[in-house]
Structure 1
Amino acid sequence: MTPETERVFAALRAEFGAESIVRVERMLEPGGGGERHPLQRAAKWIMPGLSPTPWHDPYAYAELAPVVHALEANHPAIKAELSAAWKTRREAFSDYEHYLTRQENWQALYVFRAGGLVEESAATAPTAYRVVKEAAVDTEKICPLLESHFSTLLPGAVIDPHCDLWNFSINLHLAVDIPDGCGITVAGETRSWEEGKCLLFDYSFEHEARNTGTRPRTCLLIDLWHPETTLPERRALTTLVTEVRRLMGDG
């Protein structure tokens, strides 16, 4: 760890107790914090002690339920604004740059990125911007290490099976515009999006998605802190990942 990481970790132990960030520290030990599920093996970090559950009930967590309800309540406006933007402001969308690849048939419109709200999206998708800001950013439920964006899969697009980087954040999908022929598979279980409703899953498990329909499929994605992580752990993880990215020249 760097001196900055050591300093922050020491301050967290002093404020919250010696055991407050032990799960983060165990994650950094050789072996990555212990056994992991076979379908999580490609993830970079698995923090021990978090439920190894691929699919989660989006309404089950008191911390996350207000985000889910706010998104679903505002779905009609979010969909209308997204549709208008897709027709008249396509320049606001870009090829999605996943950490593994870049896909032209996977388009993204960002609401939150690089640790902050994307101000341009306030004009392009004002309802989504407001809900993400009020329900997730202002309440610190969003994982600032990641993002929120409209994810649009063009007809025929396939996202190949992969694991994302870690298990201490969790991926929430609001199904904005869902044609027939779309699905997502997480840890071998395939589900379909229900327009206007949310799905919640742990993307450290291997997952894939596809659009075999005839028009674009769009979800609004938000990377939220895993509800089983604590405040000191979130602060430690933010410092840790920020320092790793700095050393790698990635922000």
Structure 2
Amino acid sequence: MKMKRGESGSWSSRRAPTEPRSVLLNIRKADHRVQSGDDDLACYFYRRALQFAGDGALPQEEAAELRRAQAALAEAAGRAHSRRVARLTERGLPPQQWSPRLRESLELAAAPRPYHDHDPARTYAQDPTHHFYPGLPRIQFYDPARFDWVQALESATAAIREELVGLLAKSRDSLRPFVRNADGRPMGVGKALVDGQNWGVLALCEQGWADSAYVRQCPLTWDTLLRHAPVPRVPGWGPSAVFSLLKAGAHIGAHTGMYNTRLICHLPLIVPPGCRFRVGDEVREWEEGKLMIFDDTIEHEAWNDGPEDRVVLIFDIWRPELTDQEKLELTMLFSD
């Protein structure tokens, strides 16, 4: 079932507020990230402050802080860029060998200005929190039929669900919050879910690091993903594959993901009636065994209005528009 914004049953009347649009709050978050040595995330918050400030008149305190933030952004972006160049060079990819899109993405990341100019005609743009890669199409939901590996994965739904049920029987008490208190990191997710159990996960693999105990209990799930899905194999970055449980009555607030060079996949395994998912201006309902593929750097949120818990297998894949050369470059850029 698909619905556009404003149609009957749409998300608008129940939408949670997004991250506060406060200039000073975002500058404070950026300053904190600089002090902790995280220039990439500092740039994200400095740029948000500049975006929220716009061209309008500001109170004297905010105007002074904004001028300081502009200088701090230039310094943080320069430091981050130098580290990226050094990392890639050390790994055998000096600047003269960069592909055009990699070069442009690094230049955008180093520029002391907001990430990118939003097209006012587009209500929902790609807005990654960590790295924007240019030239990739803005597609909210991808058609699973365009991927030749999807049928094999969907055909394994019953077997994957059986492994999930067995895992939950042994490890349900080990469910941990999907959203942890992240010390000022951008989330946009309702604060009620932070460090709570309304949205919990059992992680087979996170950011490229597998949990051997869970993988041993779900060998078919793990093997099916690795054999069929084009998952990124980048230590410290990907793949990620988790069983995600959303409790009855829970709502995941609007938020965006970190990198637009990957897509997120949902394989619905246990879905009671009343479970909805929004990406951009379109709302869909999960259907058991029917894969959803979407760009998580476009604002999204989820509801479980059903009487039981909802469980989906979430994993990430490379964007199909990337070339093999670009995937290799991104692996060198993002791997630990």
Give distance in 2, aligned partners of 1:122 and 1:10. Answer: 34
Counterpart residue number, 1:10: 93
Q: Between Structure 1 and Structure 2, how many residues are aligned?
A: 234
209-218 or 44-53: bigger deviation? 44-53
Measure, in 2, the Cα distance between the counterparts of 1:32 and 1:182.
Answer: 35
The offset of 1:242, in angstroms, is 4.2
Cα deviation per residue 1:139-165 (whole Å; 9 max; x = unaligned)? Answer: x53363141111110111111001111
Give the one of 133, 142, 145 matched to 1:56: 142
Q: 2:105·2:132 contact (CA, 8 Å) conserved in 1?
A: no
Aligned match of 1:246: none
Give the drift of 1:41: 6.4
**Which has the higher mean CA deviation after the structures are superposed, 47-56 or 89-98?**
89-98
Name 1:173's counterpart in structure 2. Answer: 266
Structure 2 residues not aligned, in runs of 5+? 1-81, 188-193
Match of 2:220 in 1: 127
**Cα distance in 1, alignment partners of residues 126 and 143 from structure 2:** 23
Q: Judging by fraction of residues, say which structure has more strand.
A: 1
Larger deviation, residues 98-107 vs 227-236: 98-107
Q: Offset of 1:79 from its aligned partner?
A: 0.9
User: CA 1:9/1:203 → structure 2, altered by over 3 Å: closer, same or farther?
Assistant: farther
Q: Is the contact made by 1:24 and 1:237 (CA closer than 8 Å) also made in structure 2? A: no
Q: How does 1:214-233 map to 2 (within 5 A)?
A: 214-233=307-326
The question of whether the paired residues in 2 share the 8 Å contact of 1:54 and 1:186 is answered with yes
Summarize the Cα distance change of 1:90–1:24 in structure 2 as closer, same or farther, 3 Å threshold.
same
Is 1:212 equivalent to 2:305 in the alignment? yes
Return closer, same or farther for 1:71/1:103 CA change in 2, 3 Å cut-off.
farther
Higher relative contact order (CA 8 A, sep 6+): 1
Deviations 1:80-133 (A, max 9, x none): 221222233214432213663443111111122231332212232222122123
Q: 1:13 to 1:124 in 2, by over 3 A?
A: farther
Q: 1:189 matched to which residue of 2?
A: 282
The residue that corresponds to 1:84 in the other structure is 166
Are 1:46 and 2:132 an aligned pair? Answer: yes
Change (3 A) 1:160 1:12: same
State the distance in 2 between where 1:21 and 1:188 align: 29
**Within-5 A mapping of 1:93-104:** 93-97=175-179, 100=187, 101-104=194-197
Higher helix share: 2
- Cα distance in 2 for partners of 1:95, 1:182 equals 19
Flag the 1:143–1:173 CA change in 2: closer, same or farther, 3 A.
farther
Mean CA deviation greater in 72-81 or 36-45: 36-45
* 1:143–1:169 CA contact under 8 A, matched in 2: no
Task: State the AA in 1 paired with 2:151.
Answer: H
Q: 1:52 to 1:20 in 2, by over 3 A?
A: closer
TM-score, reference length from structure 1: 0.82
Q: CA distance change for structure 1 residues 27 and 228 in 2, over 3 Å: closer, same or farther?
A: farther
SS in structure 1 of the partner of residue 320 of structure 2: coil
Is contact 1:55–1:202 with CA below 8 Å preserved after alignment?
Answer: yes
- Per the alignment, residue 249 of structure 1 pairs with none
TM-score, length-scaled by structure 2: 0.63
Give the percent of matched residue pairs that are identical in Structure 1 and Structure 2. Answer: 26
Q: 1:159 to 1:4 in 2, by over 3 A?
A: same
- What is the alpha-carbon distance in structure 1 between the residues aligned to residue 127 and residue 136 of structure 2? 17
Quote the RMSD (CA, aligned, Å): 2.5
Q: 2:293 aligns with which of 200, 209, 226?
A: 200
CA contact (8 A) 2:201 2:244 kept: yes
Instruction: List alignment gaps of at least 5 residues for structure 1.
Output: 244-251
Change (3 A) 1:226 1:143: farther
Which residue pairs with 1:106 in the alignment?
A: 199
Q: Which amino acid aligns with 2:170?
A: T
